[in-house]
Structure 1
């Protein structure tokens, strides 16, 4: 099929300067590239924080700007191959594909030792002009993109959860859950729910979920939580202590991006426990580091992106062993991006909001 020279796209020109462009240049397919026609793209909390100007993206006193405008946002996307470079092998026009968010360089020490998700240059889809994201009709996958085929009979509603669920899987894997652990997951948004349905497969002794919204707690129970608590109404630290004979939970996964959740977790986790931080914060977060060292000697781990997780997630979303029902509620056209971003905040009760093309 012939690809038009221009396409509809949402373009970030600067902090808070996002614009719908009706005729943006379509990506050019080089000899090592793949170009897809986008089927859909989810809106991530990171996309919202980037638009709002969070220092993690645009720079602050501690770091330079990471984003490189003008860029097309969106990293939760997939589509159909419509053009391939002459050097590309293993794919065909018409294949349905998605890719890891990271676009590894293949040359740094992290890439050369198999830890590609921590690639030193750290190019990613949806934040830099050289690797535009999925909030556009067409996207270019460069040579080093980590591409995965997606079954054509998998509904778009489910397929759009592949990227977030892959991130959820990596986070839970970092937690090293056993069947003897009392696990607390703080946050039951899309990513938290992905963690819950996967953590359930680990069969922990207790899987406890915290969230400020009762509708999310109900979904958490549906996805496998044993117990749910609302920190807005209950003393959740006391509840966890009462459930664990005063010791605290074994593992705490922070998936809210709110500073209070970090402090809460450090209070309720037991000595020698494992704290996994997943979220991207809108601003700097301060904690009492004495708790981590002198107080409890905790293992504090980060979780970033989704290395080696896509094949498992694609298989188990397809089988239904990773639950997805009811996560994607609303879809929007790109022209409606401002309304879509508003709904993506969750203020109207949505879990995941997406664009469809």
Structure 2
């Protein structure tokens, strides 16, 4: 950052496949606000879909309000505290902190009811300009309604960088209400899927099955506690799951592929009266035969959005070494290398890609 001119380096989203590395104004903190110096910011699958121009982001009622600095998988060090901000957030200058990805309005029925992650206004860091610029920049403003958590200074950078996706994974596993005698299938072993595997393993279901097309990710799933892994391109997932369940199907199916095929696959693999948890952000509409859900199987269909009330749990699990980023964080790039970073993140050559300031690159 050029402190003399109060400018900083940032990735700025102007539209689909139009992300530019620019010099922009460094934010300043107002009352009950703070500015953090970004330590790292991950590139999420939703960032890749947004960059690619997915309809859900750029459709008739666009979620993205460009130009905006993207990035919601960030953490950093408190650099500037506005008036009353230290008491408001319970932090001090120099603390390492993370803010949850949503910026609640604190006024709608959901926020007032404690369901802030479903805020009707629903500003998410990295998608709405000015209101919620994200973490792909040297510095970032944390507004007064943000939910902030302190990270132990002893935590490794790569572990701290996965707190946000790990929180989402914990919320998904909580929504599944796994029981000790459940056969659980997790479809999709991307970054969050692999964190779901680790969290689900801590719940000790009867069998934990992971489906993914990439061998490296299947191997990591086994390392993280999966009992069985399936390559759907070369193995019969239905036959394998039925063989583990007396022909009935899995008790819990978690969809984390981001592919429409993951949904239809799950509806076939799951038993009658099973629990289907949908997590993925899809790049296009997904269609299924809804008679399977009602008339044929009477399924319990549950959504899972963000990681409400799960950040302290994620930080604790990482601090106690019960969950790890080892093998998940595979690449890091400087902000200036955005073009290469998004190319790698949007491929099967990586699992989790981080952006950092040039001085922080290992």
The verdict on a shared fold, with TM-score over 0.5 as the criterion, is: yes
C-alpha distance in structure 2 between counterparts of 1:194 and 1:346, whole Å: 19
Structure 1 residue 132, shift from structure 2 partner: 0.4
CA distance 1:232–1:3, change in 2 (3 Å) = farther
Query: What is the match of residue 115 of structure 1?
Result: 115
Conserved 8 A contact 1:8-1:24: yes
Residue 37 of structure 1 corresponds to which residue in structure 2?
A: 37
User: Partner of 1:218: helix, strand, or coil?
Assistant: helix
The Cα shift of 1:15 comes to: 2.5
Cross-structure match for 1:98 = 98
CA RMSD of aligned residues (A): 1.2
Aligned twin of 1:168: 169
Question: What residue is the counterpart of 1:77 in the other structure?
Answer: 74
Q: Distance in 2 between matches of 1:156 and 1:229?
A: 32
- Aligned counterparts of 1:112 and 1:137: Cα–Cα separation in 2: 33
Task: Quote the offset at 1:221 in angstroms.
Answer: 0.4
Does the aligned pair in 2 maintain the 1:72–1:126 contact within 8 Å? yes
CA deviations 1:39-75 (Å, max 9, x no partner) are 1100000001001111111124xxx111111100000
Quote the offset at 1:4 in angstroms. Answer: 5.5
Tell me the distance in 1 between the aligned counterparts of 2:296 and 2:4.
61
Aligned to 2:281: 280
Q: Deviations over 1:200-246 (max 9, x none)?
A: 11110100000001110000000010111100101101111122111
Q: Measured at CA, do residues 147 and 313 of structure 1 come closer, stay the same or move farther in structure 2, by a change above 3 Å?
A: same
Please tell me whether the aligned partners of residues 74 and 134 of structure 1 are also in contact (alpha carbons under 8 angstroms): yes
Residue of structure 2 in register with 1:133 after alignment: 134
State the partner residue of 1:313: 314
Which residue number corresponds to residue 198 of structure 2? Answer: 197
Q: Does the aligned pair in 1 maintain the 2:197–2:224 contact within 8 Å?
A: yes
* 1:11-53 Cα shifts (integer Å, max 9, x gaps): 01123221110x2111121112110011110000000100111
TM-score (norm 1): 0.97
Q: Secondary structure at the match of 1:311?
A: helix
The C-alpha deviation readout for 1:75-110, integer Å capped at 9, x for no partner, is: 001111110111211211111100110000111010
TM-score with structure 2 length normalisation?
A: 0.95
Q: Secondary structure at the match of 2:103?
A: coil
Cα deviation, residue 176, structure 1: 0.4
For residues 257-305 of structure 1, what are the alpha-carbon distances to aligned partners after superposition, in whole Å with 9 as ceiling and x for unaligned? 0111111100010000000000000100111111001010001111000
CA–CA separation in structure 2 for the residues paired with 1:141 and 1:200:
34
- Write out the 4+ residue segments of structure 1 that deviate beyond 3 Å after TM superposition: none
Partners of 1:38 and 1:4 lie apart in 2 by 19
Q: What corresponds to 1:242 in structure 2?
A: 243
Matched, 1:8 2:9: yes
The count of residues paired between Structure 1 and Structure 2 equals 352
The answer on whether the counterparts of 2:43 and 2:345 sit within 8 Å (CA) in structure 1 is yes
What residue ranges of structure 2 are gaps of 5+ in the alignment?
358-362
User: Could you say what secondary structure the match of 1:107 adopts?
Assistant: coil
Cα contact 2:176–2:252 (8 A) shared by 1: yes
Q: Helix, strand or coil for the counterpart of 1:120?
A: coil
The answer (yes or no) to whether the contact 1:4–1:26 under 8 Å persists in 2 is no
Contact 1:252 1:275 in 2 (8 A): yes
Provide the residue aligned with 2:233 in structure 1: 232
